[in-house]
Amino acid sequence: MLSVEQLIQEALSLPSASRAFLAEKLVESLEFDIDETIQTLWTTEAKQRREQIRSGTIEPIPGEEGLAEVRRLLEQLTYLNQ
């Protein structure tokens, strides 16, 4: 049996289409490891947020703006923990 490092080297030597297919299959294999309780909670949360956006209860923000805010908050936490 190949080691993980050997497998990685073998996979990286494949043509692009084969690497993409392999990556897709690996991701699919992980989907079965999802905790159903957590998946249900995330689905419920997503549906609630979708309804809030549709009803106008909340205003969505662009992804880049949201990520910038997350980065700012993480920087603050890092500063506070020093």
Same domain for 48 and 68, yes or no, is yes
Same domain for 41 and 11, yes or no, is no
For the chain, the domain total comes to 2
Same domain for 27 and 41, yes or no, is no
Cα 53 to Cα 59: distance, rounded to the nearest angstrom = 6
Same domain for 52 and 76, yes or no, is yes
The share of the chain scoring above pLDDT 90, in percent, equals 76
pLDDT in tens, 54-76: 999 999 999 999 999 999 999 99
Give the residue-averaged pLDDT of 28-50. Answer: 87
The pLDDT assigned to 23 comes to 93
The pLDDT assigned to 39 comes to 85
Give the residue-averaged pLDDT of 21-25. Answer: 93
Tokens matching residue 44? 């419920």
